[in-house]
Structure 1
Amino acid sequence: MSELSPVLTIDGPSGAGKGTVSRIVARHLGWHYLDSGALYRAVGVAASWANLDISDAAALVRCTFDTHVEFVESASRGMRVMLNGVDATDELRLETTGAVASAIAAIPEVRAALKERQRAFRRPPGLVADGRDMGTVIFPDAPYKVFLTASAEERAERRHKQLKEKGVSVIFSDLLREIMARDARDAQRAVAPLKPAEDAVLVDTTGMGIDQVVACVLELLPTAAD
């Protein structure tokens, strides 16, 4: 891991906008991008494709090492996630995949297996890493750290809108319940619980547009953004 490569970590709960904000900021800075949540989702999808039992930690660890994940920018479709050469972006974004990823992320052996793979994304000229423990566990020495949050109701509303635009029929109350349950599960897990790094800047995105949040994050990077 090169100390010459700066890292901006953007952590926060599901629906806080960290993925969209991170991609835009990375593009603006010309830095590499890591969607750590996609790695856990990828392991979940790969495990599903292989019909593995997600409670089998040893099998999941093997699956982790056998799964190649690549983030590819598409001019027409935005950031795509390639899983062993197959575009798995849409499947990775399903609510059911997110639930599986959350369960997998609570397994210490899987987290340990993915730790170095995540750190390997740190290379010149810099990295924007989004997730839940980027600033606390994966890149604790990152010079720039942000923790994005928003009310559970607003996060559920955002997700509801996204799914409706994709033609997916969902019930708002169900989404809200799922988000609140995931928040509790992520915050209470024994390994790398969801929480802001002590030196992270907290940004509440409730009522804010993406452009506002991006501007707020870039203001924290005067040297990198010049």
Structure 2
Amino acid sequence: MTTVVAIDGPAASGKSTTARLAARRLGFIHLDTGAMYRAVTLACQEQRLPTRESSELADLLAALDVRFQTSGENQQRTLLNGRDVTDAIRTPEVTRQVSAYSALGMVRERMVNLQRRIGAKQNVVCEGRDIGTRVFPDARFKFYLVADLEERARRRCDELRARGKSPSLEHVAEQLRQRDHEDSTRELSPLQKAGDAITVDTTNLTIPAQVDFIVTLVKTAQKQGVRAKY
């Protein structure tokens, strides 16, 4: 039986980086669901598809192939139909629409089925917004990461500046505030904490501290043969 570590939380709460490093420490696969939904969004934008269900969207999803590949530097890359889109899916343009496309039933159904198939075959650290509530509701380990809006905006600005962008902290904060509202109020699989998830406030935590916290709890629980507790 495989092991799933589910990490949920709002945008820029530290999920992706923490999940990636925790997976490396545990020897698990990092199942980056956020990158998967961003890849779908990019594909839809390139085909100029509106944010609603349609036969054209169904055709796109049927032919869609999203995979992860580890580079020589042990960095995970996101491939969309064989094309490296790791940087392309992190643009403000994709960020603005990813929540709308992700809320579409046919998109979520396709992605969730794929994620479950991967989790049934390999030990994974999986992060997103509905991992512990919908994708892997029976996951043995569940964590919910949070952070103050200002800190999350600062982190997102740092990411964008590293890619040569010049973002405004106020603008990024407003984008995150809107994203939070969309994610938490959508009808299908809204952002919410699983009842048995452990909350981790990352506002004043370094990435290494976040990773250490999760890895230590998982390893301790595995040795004791119980679920993670804190």
TM-score bracket for the superposition, by shorter chain length = over 0.9
Alignment of structure 1 residues 62-211 onto 2, 5 Å: 62-76=59-73, 78-211=75-208
CA shift in 2, pair 1:225/1:32, >3 Å: farther
Worse-superposed segment, 157-166 or 122-131: 122-131
The letter of the residue matching 2:142 is K
- Percent identity, aligned pairs only, is 36
The answer to whether the 8 Å contact 1:54/1:60 transfers is no
Match of 2:172, SS? helix
2: CA distance, partners of 1:199 / 1:212? 22
Among 1, 20, 23, the alignment partner of 1:23 is 20
Structure 1-normalised TM-score? Answer: 0.93
Question: Post-superposition shift, 1:225?
Answer: 7.9
2: CA distance, partners of 1:12 / 1:152? 12
1:53-96 deviation per Cα after TM superposition (whole angstroms, max 9, x unaligned): 33244322332221111111113372110111100011111122
2: CA distance, partners of 1:64 / 1:98? 19
Match of 2:35 in 1: 38
2: CA distance, partners of 1:77 / 1:6? 22
1: CA distance, partners of 2:36 / 2:70? 16
Worse-superposed segment, 174-183 or 116-125: 116-125
1: CA distance, partners of 2:29 / 2:40? 21
The answer to whether the 8 Å contact 1:10/1:131 transfers is yes
Match of 1:10 in 2: 7
1:135-163 deviation per Cα after TM superposition (whole angstroms, max 9, x unaligned): 00000000000000101110000111121
The answer to whether the 8 Å contact 1:29/1:225 transfers is no
Match of 2:67, SS? strand
Match of 1:219, SS? helix
1:13-54 deviation per Cα after TM superposition (whole angstroms, max 9, x unaligned): 110111000000111111112111111111111122223233
The answer to whether the 8 Å contact 2:42/2:94 transfers is yes
CA shift in 2, pair 1:94/1:12, >3 Å: same
The letter of the residue matching 1:115 is V
Give unpaired runs (5+ residues) of structure 2: 225-230
Q: Aligned pairs, how many?
A: 223
2: CA distance, partners of 1:102 / 1:65? 20
CA shift in 2, pair 1:48/1:158, >3 Å: same
2: CA distance, partners of 1:174 / 1:77? 33
Worse-superposed segment, 126-135 or 104-113: 104-113
The letter of the residue matching 2:49 is L
